[in-house]
Amino acid sequence: MKYDFCYYNPTKIYFGKTALDNLAGELKNYGETVLLVYGKSSIKKTGLYDKIVDILKESGKKVVELAGIKSNPTYKQMMEGARLVRENNVDLILAAGGGSVIDCAKGISVSAYCEEDPWKKYWVEFKPLDNKTVPVGSILTMAGTGSEMNGGSVITNEDEMLKNGRVFPPEVYPKFSILNPEYTYTVPKNQMVSGVFDTMSHLMEQYFSGDDDNVTDYIIEGVMENLIKSAEKALENQEDYEARSNIMWCATIGLNTITGLSKKQDWEVHMIEHQVGAYTDCPHGAGLAAVSPSYYRYIYKYGLDKFVRFAEKVWNVESSGMTKEETAEAGITKLAEFIEKLGLPLHLKELGATEEMLPLIAQSTIPGGGYKKLSAEDILNILKEAY
Ligand code: NZQ
Ligand code: ZN
């Protein structure tokens, strides 16, 4: 554990089939007015909306609603929520949905009492959070992002064609998150696999950095192993509780900072995907899948030993008689085969990207990288390879 760190995660997790039973108890900790934030239609179709509203009413809460949060939540929706918070003196923002709904709730929390333009202040200039926030709670219905136990909030500014992420301090993390794996049974298959690959990508973005002996890397390898196995089981039977509950917890662990401790981390695949998403509005995990093999083939030689370890430990590549390069490439091929097995795209054109978009995506991507620092030209090369 080469780099010093402080670990603090304030989110209380209620996990399992009876997790929602804890909502009433949590509500006692907050004032009268709750802003219920949710997506387009899923929680009404599944009946979860009625259950939540009943609990809120029985708890004596006044409920204000913000419905229709879209995948890749927008700045405009966030600002609408911020207005509702101010006008109604909201005491708790309760997000019921996937990562988009929870990210939007956190965005509302930091924006409601921000005296400047919050987009510019927090998502463009990355200034420190210094205004009052409103507590957020979450009821998760789709596994993948880890937003239920972290400070991340990814917002799309449609006018500026920018999708930017910001990690806020622990006061913005959900105070509590309710995780019932059964809620994820109704997630459409394309979204389920998108969430699985999002988690896989979070794990890889934290794993592919450093060459020291760090316990975090062993944790990541174990989580990856279980995620791959559970995803294959869930593909066969979407209602396999063991598989869906493992996927849900892998996703939470995958980005609640425990799998990033004492590591430098990469995150360039996410930076590229955010701009792919800004141009195509694709599901986040599908964008990550289309970029990942090309990205890793482009950079693996700069972190060769780690890519060999990935091939051998995560994908069980039998490497005797192979060079390190061959072993590393075999691991990336296994990753691409996993993407295919999930039914996710391996090419950007499958997501609606056009050749004309590629230079625009490359130029607007925040350059960075783990083993290799990328320029806009490198990013364009990767995009062309992924196209
Ligand atoms: O809108 P509704 O009707 O609810 O439908 C949603 C949406 O269409 C549907 N869905 C969710 N739960 C369902 C369900 N459908 C049926 N049954 C259920 N139980 O699934 C669709 C996708 O939902 P969304 O919330 O958009 O997906 P996800 O959880 O993948 O969130 C994606 C967003 O999170 C950001 C992404 O960039 C993207 O904007 N991320 C947030 C992160 C964070 N906070 O730490 C990190 C990630 O890397 C990621 O960037
Ligand atoms: Zn992600």
What is the per-residue DSSP string for 97-128? ESHHHHHHHHHHHHHTT-SS-HIIIIIIS-PP
Mutate which of 11, 145, 196 for ligand 1? The one with the most ligand atoms within 8 Å of its CB, which is 145
Q: Is 40 in the pocket of ligand 1 (CB under 6 A)?
A: yes
Could you say which residues of the chain have pLDDT below 50?
none
Q: Given the CA of residue 73, which atom of ligand 1 is nearest to it?
A: 39
Cβ(142)–Cβ(184) below 8 Å: yes
Q: Is 255 in the pocket of ligand 1 (CB under 6 A)?
A: yes
Task: Output phi, psi for 355, to 5 deg.
Answer: -60, -35
pLDDT single digits (tens) 14-23: 999 999 999 9
Distance from C-alpha of 318 to C-alpha of 76, rounded to nearest angstrom:
51
Q: In this predicted structure, what is the pLDDT of residue 303?
A: 97
Beta pairing partners, 163:
156
Structure tokens at 233: 């089981």
Q: Is 150 in the pocket of ligand 1 (CB under 6 A)?
A: yes
Distance from C-alpha of 263 to C-alpha of 204, rounded to nearest angstrom:
12
Give the pTM.
0.97
Distance from C-alpha of 69 to C-alpha of 41, rounded to nearest angstrom:
10
Instruction: Name residues whose C-beta falls within 8 Å of residue 163's C-beta, 6 or more positions apart in sequence.
Output: 72, 154, 155, 156, 157, 274, 275, 277, 278
Task: Output phi, psi for 228, to 5 deg.
Answer: -65, -45
Q: Cβ-count burial of 173 within 10 angstroms (0-12 exposed, 13-18 middle, 19+ buried)? A: buried
Using the mean position of ligand 1's atoms as its centre, give its distance from the Cα of residue 347 in Å.
Answer: 21
Atom 41 of ligand 1 has which residue's CA nearest to it? 145
Distance from C-alpha of 377 to C-alpha of 4, rounded to nearest angstrom:
34
pLDDT single digits (tens) 251-287: 999 999 999 999 999 999 999 999 999 999 999 999 9
Q: Is 16 in the pocket of ligand 1 (CB under 6 A)?
A: no
Cβ(283)–Cβ(194) below 8 Å: yes
**Number of Cα atoms under 13 Å in the Cβ half of residue 346:** 15
pLDDT single digits (tens) 288-322: 999 999 999 999 999 999 999 999 999 999 999 99
Q: In this predicted structure, what is the pLDDT of residue 182?
A: 98
Distance from C-alpha of 372 to C-alpha of 369, rounded to nearest angstrom:
6
Using the mean position of ligand 1's atoms as its centre, give its distance from the Cα of residue 140 in Å.
Answer: 10
Q: Is 152 in the pocket of ligand 1 (CB under 6 A)?
A: yes
Q: In this predicted structure, what is the pLDDT of residue 211?
A: 83
Distance from C-alpha of 74 to C-alpha of 7, rounded to nearest angstrom:
31
Mutate which of 103, 183, 239, 275 for ligand 1? The one with the most ligand atoms within 8 Å of its CB, which is 103
Distance from C-alpha of 155 to C-alpha of 255, rounded to nearest angstrom:
17
Mutate which of 142, 256, 351 for ligand 1? The one with the most ligand atoms within 8 Å of its CB, which is 142
